[in-house]
Amino acid sequence: MTNVNVTFYGVLAELAQKPSISLHGVSDTDELKQQLLQQYPDMAKHNFIVAVNNQLINKNTSITNGDQIAVMPPFSGG
């Protein structure tokens, strides 16, 4: 059973009300996104990217136990 740590950035951390969570039983990044949106429906309003072990991913990518996941929206302030 996979167990991964998900770190939130920007407004996503605000929506989750914490900087990171553990997720269990997700096998790829599409599943991970689905589970996040189920848990935090307001995240669907935001554009965000997913990184697995610090690498930005552009397509569905498999996740293995212990992977470090980051989800991040673009910032715009200056």
Total residues in contact with another protein, by rule CB under 8 A: 22
Give Cβ neighbours of residue 19 (< 8 Å, ≥ 6 apart): 7, 8, 13
Write out the two tokens for 55.
């690498």
Write out the two tokens for 13.
């951390």
The answer to whether 38 contacts another protein (rule: CB under 8 A) is no
The answer to whether 51 contacts another protein (rule: CB under 8 A) is yes
Rounded to the nearest whole angstrom, what is the least distance from the CB of residue 1 to another protein in the complex? 26
Least Cα distance to 13 among 38, 53, 42, 56 occurs for 42
Rounded to the nearest whole angstrom, what is the least distance from the CB of residue 13 to another protein in the complex? 8
Contacts to another protein by CB under 8 A:
7, 9-11, 19, 45-47, 49, 51, 54-56, 58, 70, 72-78
